[in-house]
Amino acid sequence: MLILSGTRPLAKYLKRVGNSTFHINSAYIGLEWIARGKGKPDDMEINWTNPKDPKSSADQSRSLLHAAMLGYVFDCIDSYLRLLTTVGWLKLSDDQRKILRKSVTRPGGKEYAVWERFETLGVELGDEGKANLAMVRVLSAWRNKTSHEGLEAEGEVRLDGNVKEQLLAAEVYLANRYGGLSVSEMFKQMSGNSTPRRKEIVGLVSASVNLTRFVDGKLIANAIKRESDLETVAFTEIAWALTGNDQKLESAVRRLWGTNEAARARRFAAILEEASFKKASVMDGVGLSDDFAIALAKKNLEAALRLIDVPENSIR
């Protein structure tokens, strides 16, 4: 069976953030060579001089890397929440979509924070989800400190006290979940006007991924209750893909039906894969037949036009 494992925004988010730990570790390997005084390869054309104190130089580079990661992951989270508003089949109200895209502000004119935009989705998070949301609040506050304060080294980290209490209460779970992360040490690091260390940045990034995956799954479950709902999503995703580059849907379908059946089936299968449909041996929830793409490709043109005739507001 084919199940929907995530929304398009989640796929984009995971693509950008999913390999962050690998890239952080890759940078660490390179910096460790510097810390050990190995310098750069002789054939590497870059203007760089061996530092007098290699270890200190590598430590400073790690701090810069971590500060940059805070901003990068924060921007990815912000983009994910904004892009959810482009998924017409999700059951989100107009007010929710306005808050997600930050086109409205809170009473008093203040912007909605990232964590408030997650909360407006109305997803029941449970204890683990709440702990991950609190970690995202830490990531956001730490990012704001490093990016907004600029050269103001004495600026404070703006974080509600209840977040600290919540994370300290979940310290055992977080340590087990995120490679021995110490919440107490993390807050000491924050209060010392420092950037996150490796274990902290990896924990914060991983928590954001786990939160986003969980929320995305709940939104899908709320929107898809039966097979007909999932079929509608499949046709919507196909219509979205075919209308790229501002093509008209009908003309795009007619053009595709000018190819042979096998080519159409491959195109539909590729679209569904890109839209995060995947085969599941054990199905949890609603699924489509494995030969959905083949069956659609076998339809005559008139039947295909009726099936893929998706309302514009459901596509974008």
pLDDT digits 0-9 by tens, 255-273: 999 999 999 999 999 999 9
Has residue 30 been placed in a domain? no
Same domain for 111 and 211, yes or no, is yes
Largest Cα separation within the chain, whole Å, is 74
Same domain for 146 and 168, yes or no, is yes
Average the pLDDT over 157-166 and give the result.
82
Give the pLDDT band of residue 194 (cuts 50, 70, 90).
Answer: confident
Same domain for 267 and 194, yes or no, is no
Domain boundary among 222, 248, 275: 222
pLDDT at 163 over 70: yes
pLDDT at 151 over 70: no
CB count within 10 Å of CB 229 equals: 15
Has residue 11 been placed in a domain? no
As a whole number of Å, the end-to-end CA separation of the chain is: 27
Query: What total number of domains does the chain contain?
Result: 2
Domain boundary among 222, 240, 275: 222
Domain boundary among 187, 222, 257: 222
Give the pLDDT band of residue 153 (cuts 50, 70, 90).
Answer: very low
pTM: 0.87
Domain of residue 288, residue span: 225-315
pLDDT score at 315: 43
What's the mean per-residue pLDDT of the chain?
A: 88
Q: Look at 315 and 99; give whichever has higher pLDDT.
A: 99
Has residue 33 been placed in a domain? no
Has residue 294 been placed in a domain? yes
pLDDT score at 268: 95
Same domain for 132 and 164, yes or no, is yes
Same domain for 194 and 239, yes or no, is no
Same domain for 179 and 230, yes or no, is no
Cα–Cα nearest to 226, from 308, 288, 178, 269: 288
Has residue 304 been placed in a domain? yes
CA–CA separation, 307 and 299 (whole Å): 10
Residue type (1 letter), 82:
R
Q: Look at 55 and 247; give whichever has higher pLDDT.
A: 55
